[in-house]
Amino acid sequence: MALLLDALLPPSCAACRQPAFRSDAFPLRLCPPCREGLEPARSPAFPDLPGQPREWQGLAAVFAYGGAAREVVLRFKHGRAFALARPLGTLMAAVALRERLVQEADLVVPVPAWPARTVRRRYSAPALLAVEVGRRTGLPVEVRAMARVRPPSADGHAGPRRRAECVRNAFVVRRPDAVRGRAILLVDDVVTTGSTAAEVAATLKAAGAARVDVIAAALAEPVGV
Ligand SMILES: [Zn+2]
């Protein structure tokens, strides 16, 4: 397995691309300065979003969204680092187990991506992470349980209110039989304002999901606190 990963991942730091070699069991290959710059995610305290009551029960993430973690997640998210799905998914599964989100869940579902964006980036980051989380936890995965039917904001720096408006009614459940009555572990790459997770969770709840918890690779500092 290690040899296979070495073949897929060039021997360079996943964040800064400088030469780096894995020195221990940590799944992500990082050079020492980037590794030292990683911060674990802090427990979130999202303020209530405008018109968006929080619909998830629990939320956990591997990293605080900054420094090397931000570089790794952005490279993966933007379609340039397919092979990062496995180490990131492995870390997410471990955190979801530690935070007892896996123990509550029946099914893993990714935050659905806008189709044109998936084509451009060649893959959907949340979908790949969901598959890895399922593989590591033994939970079933429904990659096509949901779909995004409204495009994401072109403005990546939109504020919380604008973001909440952009995601309103943006998602649909395509497979209601799969989610009805089930506890869903929702997978995303990065949670920033929480408005996307809130809208997806609300959509799942409206389709009859019993419970939604969220696991992300990275979590931004809570807004407004
Ligand atoms: Zn580095």
CATH of the domain at 78: 3.40.50.2020
Looking at residue 79, its pLDDT comes to 81
64 in any annotated domain: yes
174 in any annotated domain: yes
105 in any annotated domain: yes
Looking at residue 24, its pLDDT comes to 74
Question: 20 CA to middle of ligand 1, Å?
Answer: 7
Question: 167 CA to middle of ligand 1, Å?
Answer: 34
225 in any annotated domain: no
CB 156 within 8 A of CB 162: no
Domain that holds residue 57: 39-219
Indicate the SS3 state at residue 147. strand
Looking at residue 105, its pLDDT comes to 98
Looking at residue 22, its pLDDT comes to 73
Looking at residue 202, its pLDDT comes to 95
| Protein residues with C-beta less than 5 angstroms from the ion ligand 1 | 13, 15-16, 31, 34
Looking at residue 174, its pLDDT comes to 97
Pick the closest to residue 203 from 82, 111, 125 (CA basis): 111
Question: 156 CA to middle of ligand 1, Å?
Answer: 25
Residue spans of the chain under pLDDT 70:
1-10, 23, 43-53, 154-159, 222-225
2 in any annotated domain: no
Q: How many domains does the chain have?
A: 1
32 in any annotated domain: no
201 in any annotated domain: yes
Pick the closest to residue 218 from 40, 85, 14, 63 (CA basis): 63
86-140 residue pLDDT tens: 999 999 999 999 999 999 999 999 999 999 889 888 899 999 999 999 999 999 9
Looking at residue 225, its pLDDT comes to 40
Looking at residue 45, its pLDDT comes to 58
Question: 45 CA to middle of ligand 1, Å?
Answer: 30
Question: 9 CA to middle of ligand 1, Å?
Answer: 14
Looking at residue 215, its pLDDT comes to 97
Write the CA distances from 79 to 128, 176, 222, integer angstroms: 11, 29, 26
Question: 72 CA to middle of ligand 1, Å?
Answer: 10
Question: 204 CA to middle of ligand 1, Å?
Answer: 38
200 in any annotated domain: yes
Tell me the C-alpha distance between 195 and 1, whole Å.
37
